[in-house]
Amino acid sequence: MRQVLIPHQLHDLPRDLPQGDIITLNGLSMGTSWSVRYVAQPTLGHDQTAVQAAIEAALAQVVQQMSTWLLDSDISQFNQLPAGRDIIIPRDFATVLEKALQVAVQSDGCFDPTIGALVDLWGFGPAEAIHAPPSPAAINAALLQSGWRKLGWDSANRRLTQPGGLKLDFSGIAKGFGVDQVAASLQQLGLAHYLVEVGGEFYGQDVKPDGQPWWVALERSDDAGTLDEYVVAIHGLALATSGDYRRYFEYEGRRYAHTLDPATGWPLLHAPSSVSVLAASCMQLMRWRQP
Protein backbone atom coordinates (compact mmCIF):
# COMPACT_ATOMS: atom_id res chain seq x y z
CA MET A 1 0.00 0.00 0.00
CA ARG A 2 1.33 3.45 -0.92
CA GLN A 3 0.57 6.52 1.16
CA VAL A 4 1.47 10.06 0.06
CA LEU A 5 2.58 12.65 2.62
CA ILE A 6 2.37 16.32 1.61
CA PRO A 7 3.86 18.81 4.13
CA HIS A 8 2.41 22.30 4.56
CA GLN A 9 5.55 23.84 3.08
CA LEU A 10 4.44 22.89 -0.44
CA HIS A 11 2.26 26.01 -0.62
CA ASP A 12 5.55 27.94 -0.87
CA LEU A 13 6.73 26.25 -4.06
CA PRO A 14 8.04 28.65 -6.73
CA ARG A 15 5.66 29.53 -9.55
CA ASP A 16 8.40 29.80 -12.18
CA LEU A 17 9.72 26.38 -13.13
CA PRO A 18 13.47 25.88 -13.54
CA GLN A 19 14.81 25.28 -17.03
CA GLY A 20 17.56 22.69 -17.38
CA ASP A 21 18.52 19.07 -16.93
CA ILE A 22 18.59 17.16 -13.65
CA ILE A 23 22.18 16.20 -12.88
CA THR A 24 22.96 13.36 -10.48
CA LEU A 25 26.25 13.21 -8.58
CA ASN A 26 27.29 10.66 -6.00
CA GLY A 27 30.20 9.45 -3.92
CA LEU A 28 31.33 8.06 -0.58
CA SER A 29 31.85 9.89 2.70
CA MET A 30 31.17 9.61 6.44
CA GLY A 31 31.27 5.82 6.20
CA THR A 32 28.33 5.76 3.79
CA SER A 33 27.24 6.93 0.35
CA TRP A 34 25.91 10.30 -0.73
CA SER A 35 23.98 11.54 -3.71
CA VAL A 36 22.88 14.95 -4.97
CA ARG A 37 20.34 15.69 -7.69
CA TYR A 38 20.09 19.25 -8.91
CA VAL A 39 18.67 21.25 -11.80
CA ALA A 40 21.54 22.64 -13.88
CA GLN A 41 20.16 25.87 -15.32
CA PRO A 42 22.09 26.75 -18.50
CA THR A 43 22.09 30.48 -17.79
CA LEU A 44 24.07 29.91 -14.60
CA GLY A 45 26.74 27.79 -16.29
CA HIS A 46 27.20 25.25 -13.50
CA ASP A 47 30.21 23.01 -13.99
CA GLN A 48 29.64 19.47 -12.66
CA THR A 49 33.25 19.15 -11.58
CA ALA A 50 33.00 22.30 -9.47
CA VAL A 51 29.72 21.18 -7.92
CA GLN A 52 31.15 17.76 -7.05
CA ALA A 53 34.25 19.38 -5.55
CA ALA A 54 32.13 21.69 -3.38
CA ILE A 55 30.06 18.77 -2.11
CA GLU A 56 33.10 16.66 -1.29
CA ALA A 57 34.83 19.57 0.44
CA ALA A 58 31.79 20.21 2.64
CA LEU A 59 31.58 16.57 3.70
CA ALA A 60 35.34 16.21 4.16
CA GLN A 61 35.37 19.11 6.59
CA VAL A 62 32.65 17.52 8.72
CA VAL A 63 34.57 14.23 8.74
CA GLN A 64 37.86 15.89 9.69
CA GLN A 65 36.25 17.68 12.59
CA MET A 66 33.67 15.18 13.90
CA SER A 67 34.49 11.62 12.89
CA THR A 68 35.53 9.29 15.70
CA TRP A 69 36.82 6.90 13.01
CA LEU A 70 39.70 9.30 12.28
CA LEU A 71 42.43 9.32 14.91
CA ASP A 72 43.51 12.85 13.99
CA SER A 73 40.03 14.41 13.77
CA ASP A 74 39.19 17.24 16.14
CA ILE A 75 36.74 15.10 18.08
CA SER A 76 39.26 12.24 18.42
CA GLN A 77 41.93 14.67 19.61
CA PHE A 78 39.58 15.85 22.35
CA ASN A 79 38.63 12.29 23.31
CA GLN A 80 42.31 11.42 23.76
CA LEU A 81 43.12 14.38 26.02
CA PRO A 82 44.14 13.73 29.63
CA ALA A 83 41.95 15.10 32.41
CA GLY A 84 42.11 18.87 32.78
CA ARG A 85 43.51 19.56 29.31
CA ASP A 86 41.56 21.64 26.80
CA ILE A 87 41.33 22.24 23.07
CA ILE A 88 40.07 25.10 20.89
CA ILE A 89 37.55 23.62 18.48
CA PRO A 90 36.59 24.89 14.99
CA ARG A 91 33.41 26.89 14.46
CA ASP A 92 31.44 24.09 12.79
CA PHE A 93 32.38 21.69 15.59
CA ALA A 94 31.20 24.32 18.08
CA THR A 95 27.91 24.77 16.21
CA VAL A 96 27.16 21.05 16.36
CA LEU A 97 28.28 20.76 19.98
CA GLU A 98 26.07 23.64 21.09
CA LYS A 99 23.03 22.19 19.31
CA ALA A 100 23.74 18.77 20.87
CA LEU A 101 24.04 20.28 24.34
CA GLN A 102 20.86 22.30 23.79
CA VAL A 103 18.93 19.13 22.99
CA ALA A 104 20.58 17.34 25.92
CA VAL A 105 19.12 20.03 28.19
CA GLN A 106 15.70 19.97 26.51
CA SER A 107 15.49 16.17 26.65
CA ASP A 108 16.95 15.89 30.16
CA GLY A 109 19.81 13.83 28.80
CA CYS A 110 17.79 11.49 26.60
CA PHE A 111 20.07 12.70 23.84
CA ASP A 112 23.63 12.85 25.14
CA PRO A 113 26.64 13.54 22.89
CA THR A 114 29.08 12.31 25.58
CA ILE A 115 28.29 8.58 25.52
CA GLY A 116 31.15 7.65 23.20
CA ALA A 117 32.58 5.25 25.80
CA LEU A 118 29.27 3.37 25.85
CA VAL A 119 29.02 3.38 22.06
CA ASP A 120 32.50 1.84 21.82
CA LEU A 121 31.76 -0.66 24.59
CA TRP A 122 28.73 -1.96 22.74
CA GLY A 123 30.68 -2.25 19.48
CA PHE A 124 28.71 0.43 17.64
CA GLY A 125 31.61 2.86 17.20
CA PRO A 126 35.02 2.57 15.57
CA ALA A 127 35.99 -0.18 18.02
CA GLU A 128 35.64 -3.82 16.98
CA ALA A 129 32.08 -5.17 16.85
CA ILE A 130 30.99 -7.49 19.65
CA HIS A 131 28.64 -10.47 19.67
CA ALA A 132 27.56 -10.58 23.32
CA PRO A 133 26.54 -7.84 25.77
CA PRO A 134 29.31 -6.32 27.90
CA SER A 135 29.27 -6.96 31.62
CA PRO A 136 27.13 -4.77 33.91
CA ALA A 137 30.34 -3.63 35.63
CA ALA A 138 31.82 -2.45 32.32
CA ILE A 139 28.59 -0.65 31.45
CA ASN A 140 28.54 1.11 34.82
CA ALA A 141 32.18 2.15 34.38
CA ALA A 142 31.39 3.64 30.96
CA LEU A 143 28.39 5.43 32.43
CA LEU A 144 30.64 7.05 35.02
CA GLN A 145 32.82 8.40 32.18
CA SER A 146 29.78 9.87 30.40
CA GLY A 147 27.39 12.73 31.05
CA TRP A 148 26.96 16.03 29.24
CA ARG A 149 26.96 18.01 32.50
CA LYS A 150 30.60 16.98 33.07
CA LEU A 151 31.78 18.61 29.89
CA GLY A 152 33.77 21.82 30.30
CA TRP A 153 32.60 24.15 27.54
CA ASP A 154 33.55 27.80 27.15
CA SER A 155 31.42 28.89 24.18
CA ALA A 156 32.81 32.43 24.02
CA ASN A 157 36.31 31.11 23.29
CA ARG A 158 35.30 27.75 21.76
CA ARG A 159 37.39 26.07 24.46
CA LEU A 160 36.52 22.47 25.34
CA THR A 161 37.96 20.93 28.52
CA GLN A 162 38.32 17.19 29.04
CA PRO A 163 37.06 16.14 32.51
CA GLY A 164 38.81 12.77 32.20
CA GLY A 165 37.86 9.72 30.13
CA LEU A 166 34.86 11.40 28.52
CA LYS A 167 34.29 10.60 24.84
CA LEU A 168 32.18 12.72 22.56
CA ASP A 169 30.19 10.92 19.88
CA PHE A 170 28.32 12.89 17.22
CA SER A 171 26.95 9.88 15.33
CA GLY A 172 23.40 11.05 16.01
CA ILE A 173 23.90 14.57 14.66
CA ALA A 174 27.02 14.98 12.48
CA LYS A 175 25.60 13.29 9.39
CA GLY A 176 22.59 15.59 9.49
CA PHE A 177 24.91 18.57 9.80
CA GLY A 178 26.78 17.22 6.78
CA VAL A 179 23.55 17.23 4.77
CA ASP A 180 22.93 20.84 5.79
CA GLN A 181 26.48 21.80 4.82
CA VAL A 182 26.10 20.24 1.39
CA ALA A 183 22.83 22.13 0.90
CA ALA A 184 24.56 25.37 1.95
CA SER A 185 27.39 24.75 -0.53
CA LEU A 186 24.87 24.27 -3.34
CA GLN A 187 23.14 27.52 -2.41
CA GLN A 188 26.48 29.31 -2.46
CA LEU A 189 26.98 28.08 -6.03
CA GLY A 190 23.62 29.58 -6.99
CA LEU A 191 21.78 26.26 -7.21
CA ALA A 192 18.21 26.57 -5.96
CA HIS A 193 16.56 23.28 -6.98
CA TYR A 194 18.12 20.16 -5.49
CA LEU A 195 17.83 17.04 -3.36
CA VAL A 196 20.69 16.06 -1.05
CA GLU A 197 21.02 12.59 0.49
CA VAL A 198 23.73 11.30 2.80
CA GLY A 199 23.32 7.81 4.22
CA GLY A 200 19.52 7.95 4.06
CA GLU A 201 19.15 11.49 5.41
CA PHE A 202 17.74 14.10 3.04
CA TYR A 203 17.23 17.78 2.38
CA GLY A 204 15.17 19.00 -0.57
CA GLN A 205 14.64 22.47 -1.98
CA ASP A 206 12.22 23.80 -4.60
CA VAL A 207 11.09 21.73 -7.60
CA LYS A 208 12.10 19.75 -10.66
CA PRO A 209 11.67 21.13 -14.21
CA ASP A 210 8.30 19.33 -14.55
CA GLY A 211 6.95 21.18 -11.50
CA GLN A 212 7.03 18.14 -9.25
CA PRO A 213 8.62 18.45 -5.80
CA TRP A 214 11.40 16.13 -4.74
CA TRP A 215 9.71 12.88 -3.68
CA VAL A 216 11.35 10.47 -1.23
CA ALA A 217 10.02 6.98 -0.63
CA LEU A 218 10.06 5.45 2.85
CA GLU A 219 9.54 1.80 3.57
CA ARG A 220 8.31 0.46 6.88
CA SER A 221 7.95 -3.14 7.93
CA ASP A 222 5.34 -3.89 10.58
CA ASP A 223 5.17 -6.81 13.00
CA ALA A 224 3.06 -8.82 10.56
CA GLY A 225 5.80 -8.61 7.95
CA THR A 226 3.82 -6.53 5.46
CA LEU A 227 5.42 -3.61 3.69
CA ASP A 228 3.87 -0.16 3.38
CA GLU A 229 5.44 2.49 1.21
CA TYR A 230 5.23 6.11 2.25
CA VAL A 231 6.12 8.82 -0.25
CA VAL A 232 6.85 12.30 1.09
CA ALA A 233 7.44 15.56 -0.78
CA ILE A 234 10.30 17.61 0.62
CA HIS A 235 10.74 21.30 -0.10
CA GLY A 236 12.63 23.41 2.40
CA LEU A 237 12.65 20.36 4.65
CA ALA A 238 15.01 17.70 5.92
CA LEU A 239 14.06 14.07 6.44
CA ALA A 240 15.80 11.40 8.50
CA THR A 241 14.89 7.83 9.33
CA SER A 242 16.35 5.78 12.15
CA GLY A 243 15.60 2.34 13.54
CA ASP A 244 17.01 -0.85 14.99
CA TYR A 245 17.13 -2.80 11.74
CA ARG A 246 20.60 -1.83 10.49
CA ARG A 247 23.09 -1.88 13.38
CA TYR A 248 22.50 -4.60 15.91
CA PHE A 249 23.60 -8.02 17.08
CA GLU A 250 21.61 -10.90 18.49
CA TYR A 251 22.50 -12.85 21.59
CA GLU A 252 20.49 -15.65 23.21
CA GLY A 253 17.36 -14.76 21.30
CA ARG A 254 17.45 -11.02 21.99
CA ARG A 255 18.31 -8.18 19.64
CA TYR A 256 20.71 -5.49 20.90
CA ALA A 257 20.44 -2.43 18.63
CA HIS A 258 22.56 0.71 18.42
CA THR A 259 20.01 3.04 20.07
CA LEU A 260 21.44 3.35 23.58
CA ASP A 261 19.69 4.77 26.64
CA PRO A 262 22.12 7.27 28.24
CA ALA A 263 20.41 6.74 31.61
CA THR A 264 21.05 3.00 31.82
CA GLY A 265 23.83 2.38 29.29
CA TRP A 266 21.80 -0.40 27.65
CA PRO A 267 20.10 -0.54 24.22
CA LEU A 268 16.40 0.27 24.26
CA LEU A 269 14.18 -2.77 24.72
CA HIS A 270 10.98 -1.59 23.10
CA ALA A 271 12.04 1.01 20.57
CA PRO A 272 10.09 1.34 17.30
CA SER A 273 11.67 -0.56 14.44
CA SER A 274 11.78 2.64 12.38
CA VAL A 275 10.92 6.32 12.82
CA SER A 276 11.04 9.07 10.17
CA VAL A 277 11.02 12.75 11.10
CA LEU A 278 10.78 16.01 9.13
CA ALA A 279 12.38 19.28 10.27
CA ALA A 280 13.67 22.57 8.90
CA SER A 281 17.30 21.36 9.01
CA CYS A 282 18.82 17.91 9.04
CA MET A 283 20.98 18.68 12.08
CA GLN A 284 17.79 19.01 14.13
CA LEU A 285 16.84 15.40 13.36
CA MET A 286 18.81 13.88 16.20
CA ARG A 287 18.17 10.35 17.39
CA TRP A 288 17.28 10.13 21.07
CA ARG A 289 14.92 8.08 23.17
CA GLN A 290 11.62 9.43 24.45
CA PRO A 291 11.45 9.65 28.29
Give the percent of the chain with pLDDT over 70: 88
The parent domain of residue 16 ranges over: 1-291
Number of domains in the chain: 1
Q: How far apart (Å, rounded) are the C-alpha atoms in residues 213 and 194?
A: 10
Give the percent of the chain with pLDDT over 90: 64
Q: Can you give the C-alpha Rg of the chain in angstroms? A: 20
pTM greater than 0.85:
yes
**pLDDT single digits (tens) 36-78:** 999 997 766 678 999 999 999 999 999 999 999 999 999 999 9
First CA to last CA distance, the chain: 32
Kindly report the CATH number assigned to the domain that includes residue 167.
3.10.520.10
**pLDDT single digits (tens) 140-176:** 999 999 999 999 999 999 999 999 999 999 998 999 9
Look at residue 43 in the predicted model and tell me its pLDDT.
Answer: 67
Cα maximum dimension of the chain? 64
Please say if the pLDDT value at position 221 is more than 80. Answer: no
